[in-house]
Amino acid sequence: MPEERSIATVGAGLVGSGWALVFARAGYAVRAYDPSEEVREGILSWASDSLKDLAEIGLVEDPDAILARISVHDTLSKAVEGVFYVQESVFETVEAKSAVSHELDAVIGDDVVVGSSSSGIPASQFTEGCKNRARFSIVHPVNPPHLVPVVEIVPAPWTEQVVLEQIAALMQEVGQVPVRLTREIDGFVLNRLQGVLLNEAWALYQDGIASLADIDATVAHGLGLRWSFMGPFETIDLNAPGGIEDYAARLRGLYAGMVRTPPPGPWPDDVIARAAEERRAELPLEDLAGRRAWRDARLSRLASFKKNQGLMG
Ligand SMILES: NC(=O)c1ccc[n+]([C@@H]2O[C@H](COP(=O)([O-])OP(=O)(O)OC[C@H]3O[C@@H](n4cnc5c(N)ncnc54)[C@H](O)[C@@H]3O)[C@@H](O)[C@H]2O)c1
């Protein structure tokens, strides 16, 4: 048996702990690090519970063996010992990303690649001064990464092509679905798309066109059903007898008429407060974690369905 190859996960919050499962279930030894003792202590029990659920619906076999591949470390330098890849998932600020990237830069070996889970801060904003900067890239997942497979690979101007190929191959191998951006753009693709929808949802709510619950229902019981297995381009290609060109001929005028001028600004405080009041009446703050677990259980069953249908990317 060849020795298991190792991957470090740096930061073990919501996203980092999901990454540990992604790599461990694919057969890698995972070396997890988080500066918070409380977080470190919670990793393995969370992973154990999640693996039990995944095993129950047939998404993993042998949860004990997967769990045994995850080790938890209390320093960054110990966590990166002998690894060929690091997935960084620390707080989303330039300061935190920059500090941890420079720390990593000082301790990683010559051919180690570092992927950052950054949701929107491009790598050029925090890796410029790193001597190994050619081996740093954004590898942006969706939360939770062990249940939602897409990852955006977003190079800094100095990230080497060969590194991007290695990351894409690794992501594919561990069961994720890599999406490659050609260059940096704020928010990348995923959050730019989500941003358009969210900005419009807030504006419709603010204008009183529909209730928060009805706007959510429009996505949950409408748009979202197709989007769980096909994107907007394929959706419209199927929604006109002559395909995408026919759809554009029939409906581009409608969409052009919907462009908001001026564009929406930041979501207003009073509208946020009203939405929060409605959401908290529906779901008290203390029930958020329970609802998150409910969401993950639904997502894992959807993943199982998609797998059985051959729809996993
Ligand atoms: N939550 C999401 O929906 C989501 C989705 C995709 C990507 N992301 C990105 O993933 C990253 C992590 O987000 P999260 O939601 O897991 O946040 P989180 O607050 O749950 O976890 C962040 C963790 O980083 C740890 N940390 C802080 N400084 C550190 C350091 N120097 N070294 C190691 N660990 C450190 C913290 O102790 C904490 O446990 C962010 O860049 C975020 O934008 C989040």
| CATH number for 245 | 1.10.1040.10
What are 102-142's pLDDT values in tens digits? 999 999 988 999 999 999 999 999 999 999 999 999 999 99
Which pairing describes strands 6-10 and 83-88: parallel, antiparallel, or unpaired? parallel
Residues 171 and 22 occupy one common structural domain:
yes
Question: 199 in a domain, yes or no?
Answer: yes
Question: 68 in a domain, yes or no?
Answer: yes
What are 59-111's pLDDT values in tens digits? 999 999 999 999 999 999 999 999 999 999 999 999 999 999 999 999 998 89
- State which of 150, 180, 210 marks the end of a domain: 180
Q: pLDDT at residue 19 above 80?
A: yes
Residues 8 and 154 occupy one common structural domain:
yes
Question: 136 in a domain, yes or no?
Answer: yes
Residues 20 and 94 occupy one common structural domain:
yes
- State phi, psi for 51 to the nearest 5 degrees: -65, -35
Residues 248 and 136 occupy one common structural domain:
no
Residues 139 and 23 occupy one common structural domain:
yes
Question: 308 in a domain, yes or no?
Answer: no
Contact 278, 30 (CB under 8 A): no
Tell me how far apart the terminal alpha carbons of the chain are, to the nearest angstrom: 30
Q: pLDDT at residue 26 above 80?
A: yes
**180/218 Cα distance (integer angstroms):** 30
Distance 86 CA to ligand 1 centre (A): 14
What are 3-18's pLDDT values in tens digits? 679 999 999 999 999 9
Residues 38 and 123 occupy one common structural domain:
yes
Average confidence (pLDDT) over 248-266: 93
Average confidence (pLDDT) over 307-313: 86
Average confidence (pLDDT) over 198-207: 97
Question: 206 in a domain, yes or no?
Answer: yes
Q: What is the pLDDT of residue 280?
A: 97
Structure tokens given for 118: 């950054």
Distance 90 CA to ligand 1 centre (A): 4
Contacts of 144 (CB under 8 A, 6+ apart): 14, 15, 18, 296, 299
- State phi, psi for 151 to the nearest 5 degrees: -135, 135
Average pLDDT of the chain to the nearest whole number: 96
- State which of 155, 180, 205 marks the end of a domain: 180
Q: pLDDT at residue 57 above 50?
A: yes
Average confidence (pLDDT) over 21-39: 98
Average confidence (pLDDT) over 279-307: 94
Question: 305 in a domain, yes or no?
Answer: no
Q: pLDDT at residue 212 above 70?
A: yes
Residues 159 and 217 occupy one common structural domain:
no
Range of the domain at 219: 190-282
Q: pLDDT at residue 38 above 90?
A: yes
Q: What is the pLDDT of residue 263?
A: 86
Provide the CATH number for the domain around residue 36.
3.40.50.720
Contact 71, 113 (CB under 8 A): no
Residues 32 and 161 occupy one common structural domain:
yes
Q: What is the pLDDT of residue 1?
A: 43
Nearest CA to ligand 1 atom 21: 13
**201/247 Cα distance (integer angstroms):** 24
Residues 197 and 173 occupy one common structural domain:
no
**241/177 Cα distance (integer angstroms):** 30
**147/296 Cα distance (integer angstroms):** 7
Residues 20 and 119 occupy one common structural domain:
yes
Question: 264 in a domain, yes or no?
Answer: yes
Distance 249 CA to ligand 1 centre (A): 44
Nearest atom in ligand 1 to the alpha carbon of residue 16 is 16
Lowest-confidence range among 51-55, 160-164, 215-219? 51-55
- State phi, psi for 74 to the nearest 5 degrees: -100, 5
Residues 34 and 175 occupy one common structural domain:
yes
Nearest in space to 19 (alpha carbons), one of 147, 119, 154, 196:
147
Amino acid at 291: R
Q: What is the pLDDT of residue 264?
A: 82
Question: 298 in a domain, yes or no?
Answer: no
Average confidence (pLDDT) over 174-193: 96
Distance 45 CA to ligand 1 centre (A): 19
**Pocket residues: Cβ below 6 A from ligand 1:** 10-16, 33-36, 39, 89-92, 96, 99-100, 117-119, 140-143
Q: Which residue has the tokens 């330039």?
A: 94
- State which of 147, 180, 213 marks the end of a domain: 180
Looking at the 3D structure of the chain, how many domains does it have?
2
Residues 160 and 201 occupy one common structural domain:
no
Q: What is the pLDDT of residue 3?
A: 62
